[in-house]
Structure formats: structure tokens, C-alpha cells
Amino acid sequence: MLYINIWRKGFAKVMSDKGLLSKIYKESLAAVLWYSPSGWSCSEMLQSIIKNVWIPMKPYYIQVYWEIWVGIRLMGFIICKIRSADKKNKALKGLSPAPAHGHH
């Protein structure tokens, strides 16, 4: 809430003071975009993921496991087909009129 209030104040100042990006606006924008109350910023998390995961695993993800990505795409295709068939089935059930008499 503090960061949202800072942002609102900054925004109000910018709106009142045209043509100038005030210091409050810059800092509040940085606070909203990059810094969380826990102190561990999104940019630091992203850098940590890239340094510890992507860089060591890059040859695996790109060359070695290339065929597994094909399998993941195949699995995604199967999931899409199942979901669309389920949606069509539900739509058809909704459109079809309810039976006049109960089942015996």
C-alpha cells in the first residue's frame, strides 16, 4: 500500500508539473516495478535464475533435450484436443433440450 501511495503522489505531481519526470515519480515507479517489501527484487531473482539455472543447463535444454521438447509439444497438442472435445461435449449437452419424461 505504501508503494501504491507513493506512486499515486508521484503520478499526481507529474500530472500537475507537465514535461518533467519528478524524482518521486521515478522512485515510485522503480518501487512498484522492481522492489518488493521482502527486499528480494524481481531483477535479482531473474539474474539468479539465469546464472544458476539457464547458463549451466543451456546445452541440455537446447541440444540434448531437443527431442523431449517435441514430446512436450505433442503432449500439449493431445491436451488441447481433449479439452476442446470436452468443451464441445458440454456445449452439445447444454444445447440439447432436457427430456420431457424421466428415465425409467
Interface residue list for another protein (CB under 8 A): 60, 64-65, 67-68, 70-72, 74-75, 78
Cβ nearer to another protein, comparing 46 with 75: 75
**Burial of 74 from C-beta contacts in 10 A (0-12 / 13-18 / 19+):** exposed
Q: Measured from the CB atom, is 56 or 97 closer to another protein? A: 56
Smallest gap from Cβ 73 to another protein, in A, equals 9
Cβ of residue 71: shortest distance to another protein, in angstroms?
Answer: 3
Residue 83 C-beta: closest distance to another protein, Å: 12
Sign of the torsion angle spanned by Cα atoms 54, 56, 60, 63: positive
Rounded to a whole number of angstroms, the minimum distance from the CB of residue 74 to another protein is: 5
Closest to 3 in 3D by CA, of 39, 38, 29: 29
Distance CA 95, CA 87 (A): 12
The rounded radius of gyration (Å) of the Cα atoms in the chain is: 26
